[in-house]
Amino acid sequence: MAQSLFQEVAEGIYCIETGLYRPGLAAAYLIRSGEQLALIDTGPAKAVPLLLAALDALGLGPEQIAYIMPTHVHLDHAGAAGHLMAACPRAYLVIHPKGAPHLIDPSRLIAGASSVYGEDNFRALFGLPLPVPAERVISAEDGQTFELAGRSLTFIDTPGHANHHGCFLDRSTQGIFSGDTFGIAYQAFTNTQGPWLFAPTTPVAFDPDAWLLSLDKLMGYRPQAMYLTHYGRLDRPDRQVETLRRGIRALADLALREEDQPEGGREIRLRTAVRDYLLAQAQAHGVTLAESEILNLLSLDIELNAQGLEVWLKRRAKHPAA
C-alpha cells in the first residue's frame, strides 16, 4: 500500500483512505494505544484490502484490533464491518443500538443502498456487506466509555444526520470522530480561509432540530479537533460550528419552500436548489476552481442531499410533527 494512502493526524491516530469514488472522499481512522487498536468507521466492503494493507504497513496485525466502531450504518461508514470482524478474531463491534440490527442482518441496508444507487452500481462501488455475529456486537449507551490499553473512547449519541448516529470522543487528544455529524469538508475546497464545511442531508433520517441539538452536545465536550470521515482532521471546531449550523438551517429551509408546491417535478427542483446552494457557498468561501469542477466534485452530494430532503418532506407530510 502506498504510504500516501494513510497519514498520522494525531498521536496514535491514522487517517486511512478507503477508496470510495475518488481519493479524499471517505476515510477510516485507526487508533493505536500500546498494542491494542480500534478502527472508527470502515468505508465500504471493498475497502477491506486497503485497511488490512495499512495495518501491515504499520507493522500491525488484525488480531490487535479490539474494537470496530462505525459512527452509523451507512455503507460508506460501516460497509466493511462484517468483513473486518471476520478478519479480526478478537474484535467487538461497537454501534448505536438502533444501528446494531442492520449490521447483524444487513439485508435492509443492501436493499436501501440498491434503491438509491442502483443494484449494479451499488455492488460495483461498495461491494456487499457481511453479517456481524450478534454475540460480538456491543450496543453502546450514550456516555459509555471503552478502554483501549489506557486510552478512553467515549460514545456520544448524536442523532440528526441519522437517528442511529454516534460519535466517539478520544480523551487523549480531546478530539471527536464525528462521522457525518460535524459535516463534510473535502480537502479540494480548503483554501486560505480554511476548510469549507457543509451538511450532508442524505437519506433517510435527516432531522435538522435533532442535529442542531447534537452539535450543541458535541461542543459541550470542548473538542480541540474533529476527525471527519469526509475528510481528515479539522482543528478548532468552535470556529466552524456556526457555519455548519447555518448550513443545516439553510438546507431545511430550502426543502420547506417545497411543502406547498406540487409533488410533480419536486425531485428536479430540489436537486437544482441544492446544486445552486452548494455552488454559491463554495464560491463564497473563495473556492477558485472552475464551476464545472466544483459541481463535478459535489455531484454525488447534490444528488444524495436532494434525495434526503425529499424523504424528509414525505415524512413530514405523514407525521406533521416530524
- pLDDT tens-place string over residues 202-259: 988 999 999 999 999 999 999 999 999 999 999 999 999 999 999 999 999 999 999 9
- 223 close to 236: Cβ distance less than 8 angstroms: no
Amino acid identity for residue 306 in this structure: A
Residue 322 has pLDDT above 60, yes or no: no
What is the Cα–Cα distance from 235 to 308, expressed in whole angstroms? 28
Give the position of cell 483512505. 17
What band does 89 get if pLDDT is binned at 50, 70 and 90?
very high
With cell 405523514, the residue in question is 318
Nearest-CA neighbor of 181 among 153, 152, 195, 201? Answer: 201
Between residues 321 and 32, which one has the greater pLDDT? Answer: 32
Q: Average per-residue pLDDT in the chain?
A: 95
Residue 149 predicted with pLDDT over 90: yes
- In this predicted structure, the answer to whether residue 155 has a pLDDT above a threshold of 60 is yes
pLDDT at 320: 72
pLDDT of residue 195: 95
pLDDT over 70 at 321, yes or no? no
How many whole angstroms separate alpha carbon 147 and alpha carbon 127?
Answer: 32
| Whether the predicted model's global pTM rises above the 0.85 cut | yes
Lookup: cell for 294: 466544483
Which grid cell sits at 312? 424528509
Residue 263 has a pLDDT of 87
pLDDT of residue 4: 67
What average pLDDT does the segment 113-124 reach?
A: 85
C-alpha cell at 107: 439485508
The pLDDT of residue 319 is above 90: no
Q: Which three cell numbers stand for residue 210?
A: 435533532
Burial class (CB in 10 A: 0-12, 13-18, 19+), 245: middle
Note the pLDDT tens digit of each residue in 158-199.
Answer: 999 999 999 999 999 999 999 999 999 999 999 999 999 999
What percent of the chain stands above pLDDT 70? 98
Query: Is residue 72 a contact partner of residue 165, using CB atoms and an 8 Å limit?
Result: yes
97: Cβ contacts below 8 Å, ≥ 6 apart: 139, 140, 141, 164
pLDDT in tens, 263-312: 899 999 999 999 999 999 999 999 999 999 999 999 999 999 999 999 99
- pLDDT tens by residue, 291-304: 999 999 999 999 99
Alpha helices in 180-290 (DSSP H): 208-219, 241-256, 266-284
Residues 6+ apart with CB under 8 A from 259: 313, 316, 317
* pLDDT tier for residue 7 given thresholds of 50, 70 and 90: very high
Q: Residue 2: what pLDDT?
A: 40
pLDDT at 1: 35
Give me the CATH topology for the region 3-241: Metallo-beta-lactamase; Chain A (3.60.15)
